[in-house]
């Protein structure tokens, strides 16, 4: 039952990542693309944790923590660039 | 006390986060965490911006519990709205007058508003008197949203800081 | 690992997967940026939270100890997710992103992107085109 649940959630997360990629390519604005990228970070954290359960190891927790931190910092830096890089300021 | 431990609250939280990060309770890690907890606040002391004190830290836990329950409710609500027909969604902006003045309480309120039922804080007016909120599904009466946020969250945050 | 742990972990995992999926679906199918902003920022916090909880219980059931750095990820995400949402809303206002026509109080965006209070009347007109 647990193996089935892990595989099911893995497939669902993969489909979610594809939906995010759809928005990343089609998003009419830069802000849409940035939102899609930020969601992709969160989804990939979940996917890494599920993969860690699939291969029954705890080694991936540090990777998930690093992705969470770097994802936040890069999202904010990108958003700041979009806010300040314009002439309207 | 105040010379060696300028921020006692930060010292304790640094120690706890260090122990959580290393996932152990061994004496070596406790010692290292205490050293870091004393040294980092001493180094960071000049960078500090004065913030209002938590007058009632115990209220913080009950507030966190309230927000947690609201977050779960909000998730189910938003999930149903997303799955339903998109013609059912009536978005809108609303400006909420603030009673809080300091930066930390306003940040807490804005974060709470973003985490809970169909609302995202979008902008703060420069005189810190109004916060603009985007509502996913606006009820007929806009005042409902304003009253909900003011009575449920802002009153609690005011009680925590007693300002 | 006994059956109870297995059922609890499976239920938590499936709940988390469904919430994350709904968040991504909302990102893909809602109509304008401001409504799209709601789906991922909310649905992912509970979704990822329950996946993290499931992973914590899994480690306890198989290895026999509790990993708390998973809780650290949850704490970090709870603090940072609203910040990202807020700054993305600011970016959208700055770039005057299109809104669906039935958005109420659309004219507030003009005031908000200049950080004026809603009672202000001056300083709005000079570039007052509505997105």
Do B23 and B86 sit in the same domain of this protein? no
Domain ranges (residues) in chain A? 2-84
Q: Least CA distance to C97: which residue of chain A?
A: A29
Rg of chain C (C-alpha set)? 21
Query: Does B86 reside within a domain?
Result: yes
**Cβ contact B93–C67 (<8 Å):** no
Do B88 and B145 sit in the same domain of this protein? yes
Do B22 and B71 sit in the same domain of this protein? no
Q: How many residues does chain C have?
A: 131
Cα separation of B140 and C81, whole Å? Answer: 29
- Span A14-29, pLDDT tens digits: 999 999 999 899 878 8
Interface residue C8 vs chain A (CB under 8 A):
no
Query: Does C98 reside within a domain?
Result: no
- Span C65-106, pLDDT tens digits: 777 888 888 888 888 888 888 888 888 888 877 777 777 777
Query: Does B98 reside within a domain?
Result: yes
Q: What is the pLDDT of residue A17?
A: 92
Taking only residues 69 to 108 of chain C, the set having a beta carbon closer than 8 angstroms to any beta carbon of chain B reads 69, 71-72, 78-79, 81-83, 85-86, 89-90, 93, 99-100, 102-106, 108
Q: Least CA distance to C100: which residue of chain B?
A: B91
Do B91 and B132 sit in the same domain of this protein? yes
Indicate which CATH number applies to the domain containing B83: 3.30.70
**Cβ contact B122–C26 (<8 Å):** no
Q: What is the pLDDT of residue C120?
A: 64
For chain C, what is the mean pLDDT? 79
Instruction: Please give the ipTM for the structure prediction.
Output: 0.86
- Beta partners for residue B97, in sequence order: B130
With a pLDDT cut of 70, the percent of chain B lying above it is 96
What range defines the domain where residue B30 resides? Answer: 8-47
For the beta carbon of residue B18, count every other beta carbon within 10 angstroms. 18
Better pLDDT: C111 or B132: B132
Q: Mean pLDDT across the stretch A20-45?
A: 88
For the beta carbon of residue C39, count every other beta carbon within 10 angstroms. 25
Query: Does C36 reside within a domain?
Result: yes
Cβ pair C41, A36 in contact under 8 A: no
Do B93 and B144 sit in the same domain of this protein? yes
Cβ pair A16, A50 in contact under 8 A: no
Q: What is the pLDDT of residue C1?
A: 65
**Residues 6+ positions from A4 with CB-CB distance below 8 Å:** C10
Q: How far from B128 is each of B100, B132, C79, C116, C118, CA to CA, in Å?
A: 8, 11, 21, 10, 12
Query: Does B73 reside within a domain?
Result: yes
Q: What is the pLDDT of residue A87?
A: 47
What range defines the domain where residue C11 resides? Answer: 3-81
Do B75 and B98 sit in the same domain of this protein? yes
- Span C3-35, pLDDT tens digits: 888 888 899 899 889 889 988 888 888 888 888
Do B41 and B93 sit in the same domain of this protein? no
* Option in A12, A58, A65 nearest C59 (CB): A58
Identify the band that residue C121 occupies on the pLDDT scale cut at 50, 70 and 90: low
A78, two tokens: 């990108």
How many structural domains does chain C have? 1
Query: Does B154 reside within a domain?
Result: yes
How many structural domains does chain B have? 2
Do B69 and B104 sit in the same domain of this protein? yes
Cα separation of B131 and B60, whole Å? Answer: 22
User: What is the DSSP secondary structure assignment for residue B95, as one 8-state letter?
Assistant: E
Do B64 and B128 sit in the same domain of this protein? yes
Query: Does C41 reside within a domain?
Result: yes
Secondary-structure class of domain A2-84 per CATH: mainly alpha
Cβ pair C93, B132 in contact under 8 A: no
Long-range contacts of B10-16 (CB under 8 A, 24+ apart): B10/B37, B10/B40, B10/B41, B11/B37, B11/B38, B11/B41, B12/B37, B14/B40, B14/B41
Query: Does C128 reside within a domain?
Result: no
- Span B78-129, pLDDT tens digits: 888 888 887 777 888 888 888 877 788 888 888 888 887 678 888 887 777 8
């Amino acid at each position: 039952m647990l193996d089935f649940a892990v595989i099911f959630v893995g497939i669902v997360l993969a489909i979610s990542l594809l939906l995010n990629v759809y928005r990343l390519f089609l998003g009419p604005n830069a802000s849409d693309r940035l939102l899609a990228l930020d969601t992709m970070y969160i989804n990939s954290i979940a996917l890494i944790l599920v993969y860690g359960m699939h291969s029954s190891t705890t080694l991936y927790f540090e990777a998930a923590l690093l992705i969470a931190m770097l994802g936040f910092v890069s999202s904010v830096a990108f958003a700041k660039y979009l806010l300040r890089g314009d002439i309207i300021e | 006390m105040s010379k060696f431990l300028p921020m006692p609250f930060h010292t304790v939280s640094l120690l706890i986060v260090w122990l959580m990060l290393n996932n152990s309770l061994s004496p070596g890690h406790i010692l290292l965490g205490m050293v870091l907890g004393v040294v980092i606040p001493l180094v960071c002391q000049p960078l500090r911006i004065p913030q209002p004190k938590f007058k009632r830290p115990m209220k913080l836990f009950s507030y966190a519990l309230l927000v947690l329950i609201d977050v779960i409710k909000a998730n189910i609500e938003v999930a149903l709205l997303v799955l339903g027909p998109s013609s059912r969604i009536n978005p809108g902006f609303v400006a909420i007058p603030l009673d809080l003045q300091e930066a930390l309480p306003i940040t807490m309120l804005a974060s709470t508003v973003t985490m809970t039922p169909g609302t995202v804080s979008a902008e703060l007016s420069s005189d810190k008197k109004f916060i603009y909120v985007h509502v996913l599904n606006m009820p007929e009466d806009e005042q409902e949203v304003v009253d909900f946020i003011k009575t449920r969250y802002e009153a609690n945050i005011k009680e925590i800081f007693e300002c | 690992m006994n059956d109870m742990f297995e059922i609890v972990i499976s239920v938590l995992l499936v709940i988390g997967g469904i919430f994350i999926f709904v968040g991504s679906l909302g990102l893909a199918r809602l109509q304008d940026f401001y409504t799209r902003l709601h789906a991922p920022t909310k649905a992912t916090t509970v979704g990822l939270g329950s996946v993290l909880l499931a992973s914590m219980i899994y480690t306890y059931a198989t290895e026999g100890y509790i990993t708390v750095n998973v809780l650290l990820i949850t704490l970090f995400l709870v603090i940072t997710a609203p910040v990202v949402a807020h700054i993305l809303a600011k970016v959208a206002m700055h770039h005057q992103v299109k809104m669906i026509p039935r958005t109420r109080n659309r004219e507030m965006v003009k005031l908000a992107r200049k950080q004026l209070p809603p009672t202000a009347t001056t300083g709005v007109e000079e570039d007052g085109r509505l997105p």
